Amino acid sequence: MRLDQALDSMWMMLAAVLVMLMQVGFVLLEVGSTRAKNAGHIAVKQVIGFSVAALAFWVAGYAVAFGEGKWIGTTGWFLHLPQDSGALPISVSYLFQFAFLAVSLAIAWGGFAERGKLGIYIVFGAIYSIFIYPVVGHWVWGEHGWLHLLGKQDFAGSTVVHLQGGVAALVATMMLKPRLGKFDKRGMSVEIPGHNQVYTVLGVFVIWFGWFGFNPGSATHVQDGLFAYAALTTNLAAAAGALTMYFISRITTGKADISATLNGALSALVAITAPCAFVRPWAAVVIGAVAGTVGYYSGKWFERKGIDDPVSAASVHGAAGVWGTLSCGIFAAPDLVKNVGIGRAGLFYGGGWEQLAVQALGIVVTMAFVAAASFAALWVLEKVIGLRVSEHEERNGLDLSEHGRYGYISLPFPVNRVEAPDRRETVWESGQKVL
């Protein structure tokens, strides 16, 4: 192996590990955004989903994504693909691409939060890892994928990773229906606050840092410094998104909403993922600021429509993913496009409407495919094993009903007492139990 190949391989392994560490961030973010009685369940289902995805992607998912074929890959089961002498080792490529899949799946899990059965994570995780995520991945990133051949720009996955996860989460949360008590008899939204905002802040910081593996890692090499440029635009966009949503919440509610500020950073990170290598730093700031706005108001819109999205996956990853994908067709700079070698310049630089049309086409077909495939898979699972735990189990908490014990041994105060009809005990929604 030549020195440049060795350096690239080492960089890609580091990037893969950074992206894998985002799972820690997702655990903290989702646990902190939900109630204490479900904390252990939410944490361990990330481990379960991560494990299922690793095996399924090794067996078939990587082949579907990167094997030969126009519509789907049909070669390379169990990573049996020819090794190009100038390419990264297949093992490194698999680990890096698997880490992206794991992030997309973690996003989808947000739509199941606090009411989905544990078994669903295993079955749907395998389906998503083989039959859903890799198909769009092949279209956009596969050497012979039809959207790739059209010149669709998605440097690190606003469409492939985030839009897919956001759409799957939206389908799941609509099929599962709202959590108990989320909407009153008039259909008005009732706030169900997360139990630990410190966790959510830590989670977002871990995810933010992990994104430096996500976007810069997608450069796949270190010689020309493209990875550092992608890191710059990524960081600028995230900062702009966080501050934008902070100011929006301050102006509209009179308070500096912590969750809004965090979602602003995440929305911007999602949006800059597609254009990070195609746009100037000033455009990255604009993209991040618009993403924060889109994330805030789309979340409010979903809630008004009676959709209970506990961790804002549909708005932060879905709506912001749409904006990020479109932004390539607006702000892609000609010299950066030439450097990356995919697509055309954006509308702002006189490139015309062609690139924007390709980006929009990618959005439409991705949303349609993922929504249809997710609905079909979950509909069958609903008929066979059911998607949602019982009302009694939901009230007592999934920690107790699915795992036999709470993630926290005790908490300092009880909230919303619930009588357990089949036990001589009183269970508190905070996670405390009084015999």
| Packed helices 90-109 and 118-127: angle between N→C axes, nearest 10 degrees | 140
- Do 326 and 283 meet the contact criterion of CB atoms below 8 Å apart? no
Q: Please give the pLDDT value at position 231.
A: 98
Dihedral sign for Cα atoms in the order 328, 333, 339, 344: positive
Query: What is the identity of the amino acid at 431?
Result: G
Rounded to whole angstroms, the Cα distance separating 417 from 398 reads 16
Long-range contacts of 254-262 (CB under 8 A, 24+ apart): 258/197, 258/200, 258/201, 259/33, 259/194, 259/197, 259/200, 259/312, 260/296, 262/29, 262/200, 262/201, 262/204
Q: Please give the pLDDT value at position 86.
A: 59
Residue written as token pair 């691409």: 97
Q: Please give the pLDDT value at position 410.
A: 60
Low-confidence ranges of the chain (pLDDT < 50): 411-435
**What does the longest C-alpha to C-alpha distance in the chain come to?**
72
Rounded to whole angstroms, the Cα distance separating 18 from 284 reads 22
